Structure 1
């Protein structure tokens, strides 16, 4: 039997996390990594909003559309009746006919504007693509099937889940890192902090010379600890010679 603790399951960010942790921890070593075939995607079992639409909602939407059409038809009929009753006189018809003749003789600015040839405008992005056809396109990061990352003598198993989950890492379980010096403590803490948050601010506590509880940008939490009475490394001194 093999007991592997901890096991970190990411959702599409495993490769990014591995690269990050290799730069954070001075002694980190990637023992093994296997990627899923190119084109593998993470399946999201959550139904989309379109699939969750109920038939009753569709019927109500159709009824609303039909009601709007009926209202528009009613308004159209009323406007035609009002025009026939009030405006359709012999004098009005003659005056409107004369106005139509005058309008036809005068050139229309609107028609000229429409007939003018449209100008072609290029965005900065289009111009950049035309000037640089060999522009590098971002390639999707491969999904990790399995990986073993060794930090401080402890092997972390890491992979990407191929099914999207509604949960992430929780601070109730965190990785404890014991360091030997203040310099190592600061280097690790300052590297893990960007994009994350402190659950306990760095400082000296009753139980540690230096301690920090950090949730990094992947939501993984780390407890970095420099124990009490831990001497700082000094230059090697020669042993006294006894006569």
Structure 2
């Protein structure tokens, strides 16, 4: 049995988001990508299913063919324990660029430093320095 984070994008953002995330983690990589083909001409070339790794963990993402009434919400987030303050700051700056922080970087009593941001794709990230 395995549990894998699965991100569904609605605006054909899956590949851009995946490549952005992979670029932020030293060991990040795209494992596989399957695209819609001629059978769905309105979706052709978008991500049918992609697999990528961040910090040794597998994630999956898709571009959803139908538009839904919902999107990402901060009630579900990716939690990252960082190895250094520099790493925390770099991720916080990149993921939160141009966005309002849900919790600005600071000491909240449960870690040395913590910040919570929604990235430009709407995915929520909790960044922690234990």
Whether the TM-score (by the shorter chain) exceeds 0.5 is: yes
Gaps of 5+ in 2: none
Aligned residue in 2 for 1:181: 84
Equivalent residue of 1:40, what SS? coil
Please tell me the root mean square deviation across aligned C-alpha atoms, in Å.
Answer: 1.7
* Greater relative contact order (Cα < 8 A, sep 6+): 1
Larger Rg computed on CA atoms: 1
Q: 2:46 aligns with which of 143, 162, 172?
A: 143
Moved over 3 A (4+): none
**Residues 19, 30 of structure 2: 8 Å contact kept:** no
TM-score scaled by length of structure 2:
0.90
**Residues 22, 53 of structure 2: 8 Å contact kept:** no
Equivalent residue of 1:217, what SS? coil
Q: Distance in 1 between matches of 2:128 and 2:41?
A: 39
Equivalent residue of 1:205, what SS? coil
Q: CA deviation at 1:194?
A: 1.4
Q: CA deviation at 1:26?
A: 2.2
Change (3 A) 1:207 1:35: same
Q: Distance in 2 between matches of 1:182 and 1:172?
A: 25
Deviations 1:135-155 (A, max 9, x none): xxxxxx931011111111111
Q: CA deviation at 1:210?
A: 1.2
Q: CA deviation at 1:195?
A: 3.5
Deviations 1:105-145 (A, max 9, x none): xxxxxxxxxxxxxxxxxxxxxxxxxxxxxxxxxxxx93101
**Residues 32, 148 of structure 1: 8 Å contact kept:** yes
Equivalent residue of 1:202, what SS? strand
**Residues 40, 143 of structure 1: 8 Å contact kept:** no
Equivalent residue of 1:17, what SS? helix
Gaps of 5+ in 1: 43-140, 228-243
Q: Answer 1 or 2: which has greater helix percent.
A: 1
**Residues 213, 222 of structure 1: 8 Å contact kept:** yes
